[in-house]
Structure 1
Amino acid sequence: MSELTAQDRARRIKVLLFDVDGVLTNGDITIVPSPDGDRSKAVEVKGFSAHDGMGISIARLAGLKVGFVTKRESQVVAIRAKDLKIDHLYQGQSNKREAFDKVLADEGVTADEVAFVGDDIIDLPALRVAGLAIAVANARPQVKAMAHWTTTQVGGQGAGRDAIDFILEAQGVLDSTIEAYLDPSNPAAKKADIGTGKM
């Protein structure tokens, strides 16, 4: 039997999981200390791509479930996940395979129906079992070596959108989903849309 292509794998995807740092952000972690030096009051800053956010709206409208699986615990990620109406949020995950398996159980899907997008070696346990393993353009060599597909854009600059577009294009629904999103009379589009940023 011939090896499945990345497009073949993408056609089966029902759930799309992302690492955060280096995938949905450029990997920078900026910490702003409080004026009084209290570490508990320090503020963490991350930058996210609006293209990825729009892509998540399109993915949801197309029927995909979306999740974040990250090792760090960050209020910034929680806020972004809420704004994007993310279905699954797992922070503090040193073993991402455990979160991956929880999503399988919650969604009633098989590993073949889940895509994982990563950039570093901590993502390998989830990437190794994902039906579609995606590396971002700035991923470490070990991740790129085992990925089924690699994005054109780097993390934080539209890599997430690349992954979404690739999956929906393979499923034959990218263009029709975009048109459905742009239809102002479509209630499903309004329901799938991301938040307005009022946090």
Structure 2
Amino acid sequence: MPLSSEPSSLTLYHRLMSAVMLSPEDRARRVKVLLFDVDGVLTNGEITIIPNGAPNTELKGVEVKSFSAHDGLGISLARLAGLKIGFVTKRNSQVVAIRARDLKIDHVYQGQAHKMEAIAKILVAEGCTLDELAYVGDDIIDLPVMRRVGFAIATANARPQVKAAAHYTTPMSGGFGAGRDAIDFILNARGILDEMIERYLDAENPESQRADIGVGNM
């Protein structure tokens, strides 16, 4: 009788247990694409809206967000290490579009109420698997993604449910270096953080210049 090509229940069990028992470092070493929520992850979650319309006219406003320069430089290190970077956020914001442009972000998806739709497109574009994705989130809208990616990261300011779903929680809060914490952890797990720092600091290294986000855009 020919052997079945389908894995046995015991094999599936061992695969499942192996996945469950992976350390955060093991998961980080598999990452090829690092994705971020924006509000509360790359910012502190506050949204300041300054009215700019005249009385009795259509309500308008200028949206203000603050980002961390530490995160910006970290993205240069991640790019130098060969990681692809993406933003996946529910809100539509011109501020985020500007930040993404300045940081040369590979994948930018705004207006994503159901973020797995964007994740599916990124998987196709990069030719990778969910196991090779890391995602940094802070609120419950991030849970569907965090429950499926290979490396789920919560910020220090994340909701309890998000921290419970995470494989790693950053020491810093969103907007205060949480993104850099995530990047440093991944590069450290791969044993290349110090190497990437030195390559970034090498003014003669053309790779460093290509990976850099540019003067004034940290």
- In structure 2, the partner of 1:77 is 96
> Which protein shows a greater Rg?
2
| Aligned-partner Cα distance in 1 for 2:59–2:101 | 23
Q: Matched residue of 1:115: which SS? A: strand
- In structure 2, the partner of 1:171 is 190
Cα distance, 1:42 vs. partner? 1.3
Pair 1:150-2:169 in alignment = yes
- In structure 1, the partner of 2:205 is 186
> Is the Cα–Cα contact under 8 Å of residues 33 and 39 in structure 1 kept in the other structure?
no
- In structure 2, the partner of 1:7 is 25
Q: How many equivalent residue pairs?
A: 198
> Is the Cα–Cα contact under 8 Å of residues 23 and 119 in structure 1 kept in the other structure?
yes
Matches within 5 A, 1:84-99: 84-99=103-118
* AA matched with 1:4: L
Matches within 5 A, 1:26-37: 26-37=44-55
| Selected match of 2:132 from 113, 116, 131 | 113
Q: Pairwise CA RMSD of aligned residues?
A: 1.2
| Aligned-partner Cα distance in 1 for 2:65–2:214 | 18
Q: 1:107 to 1:57 in 2, by over 3 A?
A: same
Cα distance, 1:87 vs. partner? 0.2
Cα distance, 1:195 vs. partner? 2.9
> Is the Cα–Cα contact under 8 Å of residues 83 and 196 in structure 1 kept in the other structure?
no
| Aligned-partner Cα distance in 2 for 1:86–1:194 | 9
- In structure 2, the partner of 1:63 is 82
CA distances 1:5-61 after superposition (whole Å, capped 9, x unpaired): 000000000000000000000000000001414556411000000000000000000
Q: Matched residue of 2:147: which SS? A: helix
Q: 1:34 to 1:128 in 2, by over 3 A?
A: same
Pair 1:51-2:70 in alignment = yes
Q: Matched residue of 2:171: which SS? A: coil
> Is the Cα–Cα contact under 8 Å of residues 53 and 59 in structure 2 kept in the other structure?
no
| Selected match of 2:147 from 123, 128, 131 | 128
Q: Matched residue of 1:101: which SS? A: helix
| Aligned-partner Cα distance in 1 for 2:42–2:58 | 26
Report the TM-score, using the length of structure 2 for normalisation.
0.88
| Aligned-partner Cα distance in 2 for 1:46–1:169 | 29
> Is the Cα–Cα contact under 8 Å of residues 83 and 197 in structure 1 kept in the other structure?
no
CA distances 1:51-108 after superposition (whole Å, capped 9, x unpaired): 0000000000000000000000000000000000000000000001111111111000
- Segments of structure 2 that go 5 or more residues without pairing to the other structure are 1-16
- In structure 1, the partner of 2:5 is none
* AA matched with 1:114: L
Q: Percent identity?
A: 70
Q: 1:108 to 1:39 in 2, by over 3 A?
A: farther
